[in-house]
Amino acid sequence: MLALAAGVGGAGLAGGALPLLGQDGAGRKVLDRNGGPYVPTPWPVVDRMISTGSLGPKDLVMDLGCGDGRLVIAAAKRHGARGYGVDIDGDLVRLANDTAAREGVAHLVRFEERNIFDTDVREATVLTLYLLPWMMMKLRPRFLSDLRPGTRIVAHDYHFEDWRAASESVFDVPEKVAITGSPTTTVYLFLVPARVEGRWTVEAPGAAAFDRGELLLRKTLNDFEGTLGIAGRAPRRLDATSLRGLDLRFALPVEGAGGRAGRAIVRARVDGDRMEGTIESTLAATTKFAASRLN
């Protein structure tokens, strides 16, 4: 990790004090690689990142700080995914576009010399990242607000601190010893969560404890919390809440005939202002659950 910060494998951030911001002593342009120096992701890690992203021809993969474009080009070649990469280094961008042409995927991918901070990520379905920790955290709020729910973020070695990864695979890659001093590599998958915050009205004609109730949900970084209110009853707090991308789950105590105590688990998939799924109860047969956003 330290070596990436110090600039192994290309013009890094190290190298002593610079006389002028944006220029070296000879007046040459100095690139502000504030996301990290150029250190290409070793091929075994590229393979793992691509499989972690579950890529397909409907995807638009963006690599922010794309280097030689290897992740985007490999995704296009292997899975027919469209791709876009940006890098502050124009030489790397030219190399990436030339390689894409040589590999026969220039119709699918495009690389531009651009700062990550000036890059519109809204159309991406998958992001690939190999950027320093501070840059990951700087970008996190934008990813959570701009990316579509369900977008996959596949990150090499660096993560988003307390944003919980959906998966994390740790493995050894001999080529990493030259970069970080250790073969240990981690590939993280993050899923942009559905926007569940707000009031929802429930349709569950088969479950009286839910039907026409009002869900009041508040998003937390990793999950959500909330209550279910039904006319004439005190709102009940949801428990065992979880939100993984578009898939939401919560549980509630329920009461059967004669005051019998039970428990119901709701699982639903969120699609914009609508969610649909099932209610599984210890007291009754599984029934359908749906909710629509009120505000």
Ligand X SMILES: C[S@@+](CC[C@H](N)C(=O)[O-])C[C@H]1O[C@@H](n2cnc3c(N)ncnc32)[C@H](O)[C@@H]1O
**Residues at the interface with ligand X (CB under 6 A):** 33-36, 38-41, 63, 65-67, 70-71, 86-89, 92, 115-116, 130
Instruction: Check if the beta carbon of residue 200 is closer than 8 Å to that of residue 208.
Output: no
Tokens in use for 210? 């839910």
Q: Least distance (Å) from ligand X to the CB of residue 95?
A: 10
> Is the CB of 66 or the CB of 81 nearer to ligand X?
66
| Sheet containing 152-156, strands listed edge to edge, beginning at the edge strand earlier in sequence | 109-113, 82-87, 60-64, 126-129, 152-156, 184-191, 167-172
What would the two tokens of residue 254 be?
């329920």
Which tokens in the block code for residue 138?
């700087």
Nearer to ligand X, 68 or 207 (CB): 68
Greatest C-alpha distance within the chain: 86
Neighbouring C-alpha atoms within 13 Å toward the C-beta of 89: 20
CA-to-CA separations, 49 to 34, 43, 188, in angstroms, rounded? 23, 10, 8
Give least dist CB 121 to ligand X, A. 12
Nearer to ligand X, 96 or 252 (CB): 96
Taking the least distance from each CB to ligand X, the nearer of 158 and 250 is 158
**Are residues 132 and 5 in contact, defined by beta-carbon separation less than 8 angstroms?**
yes
Residue 288 is encoded by which pair of tokens? 């359908």
Q: Which residues of 145-159 are buried (b: 16+ CB within 10 A; e: fewer)?
A: eebebbbbbbbbbbb
CB of 141 to ligand X, least distance (A): 16
Smaller CB separation from ligand X, 62 or 252: 62
Residue closer to ligand X, measured from CB, 185 or 241:
185
Cβ of residue 229: shortest distance to ligand X, in angstroms?
Answer: 47
Q: How far is the CB of 175 from ligand X (least distance, A)?
A: 12
Closer residue to ligand X, CB minimum distance, 86 or 207: 86
Measured CA to CA, the distance from residue 283 to residue 268 in angstroms comes to 20
The least distance separating ligand X from the CB of residue 128, rounded to whole angstroms, comes to 7
Q: How far is the CB of 157 from ligand X (least distance, A)?
A: 9
Query: Any bridge partners for residue 199, and if so which?
Result: 216
